[in-house]
Structure 1
Amino acid sequence: MSAGVTLCVVQETRLDTARIRAARRVIDPIFLDTPLYRCEALEPDLGCAVSIKLETANPVRSFKARGTEVIATQLADSDSRAVVCASAGNLGQALAWSGRGRGLDVTVVASRFAPVAKLDRIRALGARLELVDGDFDLARERAAALARNDGIRLVEDSLDIETCEGAATIGLELVDSAPSFDTVLIALGGGALATGVGQVVKTAAPGVEVICVQPLGAPAMTHSWRQRRVVTTDSTNTIADGVAGRCPIPEVLDDLLLVADDAVLVQEASIITGMRLLLQHAGLVVEPSAALGIAAILEDRDRFAGRHVVTIVCGSNVDVDAYRRWVGAAAHHGA
């Protein structure tokens, strides 16, 4: 897709630049203006200039609160103060945090197989937590049923435009403050982060390549992007639980098709190596989804050689025992 084509279609997405700028005014500043810095220590392993946008240094340790802050602000001004969402863990924490500060009644539906650390934090933040015996997409179905039955607001990550436009404020910070970068690598799950950041970057800096990264074990959105139609999968098999969806949302895919230049799939071993490199060279303990950008560079060094790449480190809610297992094994095998 050429930059010229992208420029003429980017405004047709569901996202709106004025609303994205307005979102900055209602998001708690604690989630804004996150660190962005060149990480030279990573560069010998990766063969290119790498800057990190660090979305973990906040009370919920992920970027998701940028979107839930917008939603919670709206709900606080409405008659209905009850809200439900399905979550792999990070959205639930963010909605619980944003809702608690505004007196909302928050219910989160999650898989009982979600990382215990994420579930514990959702409870600690005062949300009601309901667990399902299945994966994230089953949790989505249950959350929708609760919303229908109880007549309360359903927050659907990536479908609700506020989740995309909240995430898009990261893009504003990138284009406002970064030295010239030519590529941005974005974890791809439901698509809120990719469509939000992609929208802003393609509008403000159309020459920058927007590349989405997904695990081989959870490829539904990437296959959908490549085939320009929704492609679902029967199951997922990846340690990157935060991006492990099976059923892409058509409206989100439509947006992604307009703002993403490429979507790539990476192996589990590369994700683990990326986590280890971020620990060793940046002092960062991250969840697997946050290492997808590093994994993409590791798997295609020639593509990124000579470039200045920004990768968004999107979350650090990880089970400590699992993390030790993964990163320790990677170090042991010299991956």
Structure 2
Amino acid sequence: MIDPVFLDTPLYRCEALEPALGCAVSIKLETANPVRSFKARGTEVVASQLAEHGSRAVVCASAGNLGQALAWSGRGRGLDVTVVASRFAPAAKLDRIRALDARVELVDGDFDLARERAAAVARHDGIRLVEDSLDLETCEGAATIGLELVGPELVGPEPVDTAPSFDAVLIALGGGALATGVGHVVKALAPGVEVICVQPLGAPAMTLSWRGRRVVTTDATNTIADGVAGRRPIPAVLADLLLVADDAVLVQEASIIAGMRMLLDHAGLVVEPSAALGIAAILEDRDRFAGRHVVTIVCGSNVDVDAYHRWVGPASTRRP
């Protein structure tokens, strides 16, 4: 169901990062596709099923990346796509959604308010509501990243006595589709690999919920990582996360920015803040990862250029 353009993204050892981090680091580059994030793996499944059943319209709430992915997948299958987003979402993400012929409706609030509005639109118009992380298709799409991570030698009708070279995978944690999708595959096929979810300290709801084994909501978020800035975890997604995550950690904004700088300086990658969470986790706990081989999923690169320059700064101002 998934267009091959979104599959088999690069996975490579990035030795230039390793002296500063103290561990072997491999990058799974989910930005090397037309929508510059992993989200289209899931929306391709959703849109394929809708088109197969004759549906013509679909709506979602999005911080930006899901909306762009659904617009791309829907346009290719003749679907009428509506994306509800916060008025404060990055303008670059909203512009790309519109450029893909989707209708954008803005709300005067955050992502969770956009979720409520999208649900109301779906009820009123009688159309499909795509709820990221709650809809299994979005998790299944993300899970294909896990299949590519553990390697084709581990995927097949017969188990084989082979393990991947890495011993931990660092996954950005927002709504949970990426973490639960990849986590289920990794734990099924390479159970010795540690699944570590990473979230900003300024948007900790899912991590606090994982730690407490119950849904914990927050009143607000305060992070530049807009792609993972939710306040209200979905109970069913938390239940999934509790099955597959070995740990969930919170990182500071300064570490996220430092991670973005490192990915630019040492890997030549311009990434959005959510994609730097894995590097931020290593920076904050070098002893934990010392001497290990870690994979970090670079999940998106849809970032406002002006904001990126404010955060990362010109090369002349960065420390080596």
After TM superposition, is the score higher than 0.5?
A: yes
Match of 1:284 among 269, 276, 281: 269
Match in the other structure for 1:65: 40
Matched, 1:274 2:263: no
1:331 deviation in Å? 7.0
Q: Tell me, which stretches of 5 or more residues in structure 2 are unaligned?
A: 153-162
For residue 241 of structure 2, the aligned residue among 256, 263, 288 is 256
CA distance in 2, matches of 1:65, 1:87: 13
Find the residue that maps to 1:233 and give its secondary structure.
coil
Give the corresponding residue for 2:223: 238
Determine whether 1:323 maps to 2:303. Answer: no
- Cα offset for 1:179? 4.6
Q: Deviation string for 1:140-160 (max 9, x for gaps)?
A: 000000000110000000000
Aligned length: 310
Which letter maps to 1:303? Answer: R
Distance 1:42 1:334 in 2: 14
Aligned residue in 1 for 2:8: 33
Gaps of 5+ in 1: 1-25
Aligned partner of 2:108 in structure 1 is 133
1:197 aligns with 2:172: no
Distance 2:174 2:319 in 1: 29
Q: State the SS of the aligned residue for 2:310.
A: helix
For residue 176 of structure 1, report the CA deviation from its aligned partner: 1.0
Deviation at 1:109, TM superposition (A): 0.2
- Distance in 1 (alpha carbons) for counterparts of 2:253 and 2:12: 26
User: Normalising by structure 2, what TM-score?
Assistant: 0.95
Correspondence for 1:182:
167
User: Aligned equivalents of 2:3 and 2:261: distance in 1?
Assistant: 31
**1:154-208 CA deviation, whole Å, 9 max, x = no partner?**
0000000000010000000000169511000000000000000000000000010
Residue from 201, 212, 219 that aligns with 1:216: 201
Pairs within 5 Å for 1:72-151: 72-151=47-126
TM-score, normalization by structure 1:
0.91
Q: Structure 1 235/301 Cα, relative in aligned 2: closer, same or farther at 3 Å?
A: same
* Cα 1:319–1:78 shift into 2, 3 Å: same
Distance of aligned partners of 1:203 and 1:144 in 2 relative to their CA distance in 1, 3 Å threshold? same
Question: What CA RMSD, in Å, does the superposition of the two structures yield over aligned residues?
Answer: 1.3
The answer to whether the 8 Å contact 1:273/1:330 transfers is no
CA distance in 1, matches of 2:195, 2:7: 22
Hey, what's the Cα distance between the residues in 2 that align with 1:123 and 1:295? 32
Aligned amino acid, residue 219 of structure 2: D
Post-superposition CA distance 1:238-296 (Å, at most 9, x none) = 00000000000000000000000000000000000000000000000000000000000
Q: Deviations over 1:216-257 (max 9, x none)?
A: 000000000000000000000000000000000000000000
Aligned to 2:132: 157
Summarize deviations over 1:128-150 as a string: whole Å, max 9, x none: 00000000000000000000011
Matched residues, percent identical?
Answer: 88
CA distance, structure 2, for counterparts of residue 330 and residue 206 of structure 1: 41
2:267 maps to amino acid: A
Alpha-carbon distance, 1:80 to partner: 2.3
Q: Is the 8 A contact 1:276 1:330 kept in 2?
A: no
Residue deviations 1:20-50 (CA, integer Å, cap 9, x gap)? xxxxxx1000000000000000001100000
**293, 296, 309: which one aligns with 1:311:** 296
Please say which of residues 324-333 and 206-215 is displaced more in the overlay: 324-333
Q: Is the 8 A contact 2:164 2:190 kept in 1?
A: no
